[in-house]
């Protein structure tokens, strides 16, 4: 019994072919989008390389670039096939190609789905790379006069402003590191010297954050020094002043930015590709039934599977088994299947 059988008239078949032609060209555009997304991610990862530890996360943009190129090629061919299938006689030239094309497209769609799963798996690796990279970048934030590190202050400041975030996990991360260079500390000031002496490593730690952590939506001037000292500021309670600083950590902000873009686009492309594949399968089976009937204007049935799922699986399994048997070579005749092993070659 056929699975999801639908009856098609000549008009419905023609309309289906025309719609699939349009959808295949839209799929070509989605392939270009995937390719562009892969390039975008590759550039973004390289651009923010100083904020990420050395991790193997380039496989995701590389996968998107490859999938995008394959999608363009497959759907370009699919558009040509569907365009010709409007004319039943032209379908004959594609009759033997359509089933392998559908199978290849199905496996390609499956690979896109695997790619979406890989994007989820990238989440953990990307998070760890960002955690380590941001920690290092914040540590060297103060080294504005050190070659090779002088750009990190601007990089971190721009990151916090652009993504409206502060610190690695949150603004309190800045309390654990010295982010002001010693060259800007007044060593003759008693409070400065007391802070330096009170720290085992001789670092100047304080409950303050860089200016880039300030929330532009705050109704009051930004408080970035003595953040946890309520008595140092008028009408201030740091536990409830959520608008004063960006509360989200930059690691979370970057993760949401990258993973949301990739996962949403890849899953959308995968679902769209499945819908196109389903339509092509209906078109193929309905046109093959028309050819069997011999009347190009007659009604015909289309389906996803000619038999039930279990029956289809059993038939395919038997085909695979028969192929394996046919490929076995009878060694009784020294490897030559044309020699009858029952005949003794020494007898005349």
Nearest CA among 58, 60, 44 for reference residue 162: 44
- The first and second tokens of residue 11, run together, are 């008009």
Question: What confidence score (pLDDT) does residue 341 get?
Answer: 47
Q: What is the pLDDT of residues 261-300, one digit of tens each?
A: 777 777 777 788 888 888 888 888 888 888 888 777 788 8
Distance CA 294, CA 288 (A): 10
Lowest mean pLDDT, pick from 106-120, 133-147, 265-279: 106-120
Of 335 and 253, the one with more pLDDT:
253
Q: If you ran DSSP here, which 8-state letter would residue 214 be given?
A: B
Residue 150: per-residue pLDDT: 82
DSSP class per residue in 217-229: T-SS----SSTT-
Going from N- to C-terminal start, the domains of the chain cover 3-121+261-310, 138-251
pLDDT band at 209 (very low <50, low <70, confident <90, very high): very high
Report H helices in 140-249.
Answer: 152-162, 190-198
Binned at pLDDT 50, 70 and 90, residue 338 comes out as very low
pLDDT band at 236 (very low <50, low <70, confident <90, very high): confident
Tokens at residue 63, please?
């996968």
Mean of per-residue pLDDT scores for the chain: 80
Count of all residues that appear for the chain in the document: 348
Q: Is the pLDDT of residue 162 over 80?
A: yes
Q: What is the CA radius of gyration of the chain?
A: 33
Q: What is the mean pLDDT of residues 31-41?
A: 86
pLDDT at 326: 58
Rounded distance, CA 339 to CA 348, Å? 16
| Closest listed residue to residue 287, CA positions, set 45, 337, 279, 206 | 279
pLDDT-based confidence at 129, cuts 50/70/90? confident
């Amino acid at each position: 019994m056929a699975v999801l059988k639908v009856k098609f008239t000549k008009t419905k078949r023609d309309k289906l072919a025309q719609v699939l032609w349009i959808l295949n060209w839209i799929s070509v555009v989605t392939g270009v989008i995937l390719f562009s997304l892969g390039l975008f991610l590759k550039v973004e990862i390289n651009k923010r390389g100083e904020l990420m530890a050395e991790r193997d996360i380039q496989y995701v943009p590389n996968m998107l670039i490859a999938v995008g190129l394959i999608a363009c090629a497959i759907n370009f061919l699919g558009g040509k096939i569907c365009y010709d299938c409007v004319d039943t006689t032209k379908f004959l030239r594609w009759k033997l190609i359509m089933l392998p094309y559908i199978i290849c497209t199905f496996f390609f769609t499956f690979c896109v789905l695997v790619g979406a799963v890989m994007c989820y798996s990238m989440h953990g690796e990307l998070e760890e790379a960002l955690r380590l990279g941001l920690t290092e970048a914040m540590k060297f934030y103060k080294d504005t006069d050190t070659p090779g590190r002088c750009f990190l202050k601007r990089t971190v400041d721009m990151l916090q402003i652009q993504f409206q975030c502060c610190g690695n996990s949150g603004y309190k991360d800045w309390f654990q590191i010295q982010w002001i260079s010693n060259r800007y500390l007044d060593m003759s000031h008693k409070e400065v010297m007391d802070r330096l002496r009170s720290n085992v490593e001789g670092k100047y730690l304080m409950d303050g954050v860089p200016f880039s952590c300030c929330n532009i939506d705050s109704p009051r001037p930004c408080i970035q020094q003595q953040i946890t000292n309520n008595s140092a500021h008028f009408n201030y309670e740091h536990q409830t002043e959520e608008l004063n600083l960006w509360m989200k950590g930059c690691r979370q902000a970057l993760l949401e930015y990258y993973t949301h873009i990739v996962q949403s686009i890849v899953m959308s492309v995968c679902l769209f590709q499945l819908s196109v594949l389903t339509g092509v399968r209906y078109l193929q089976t309905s046109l093959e039934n028309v050819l069997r009937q011999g009347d190009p204007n007659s009604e015909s049935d289309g389906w996803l599977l000619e038999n039930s799922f279990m029956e289809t699986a059993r038939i395919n399994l038997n085909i695979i088994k028969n192929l394996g048997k046919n490929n076995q070579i009878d060694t009784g005749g020294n490897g030559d299947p044309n020699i009858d092993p029952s005949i003794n070659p020494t007898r005349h």
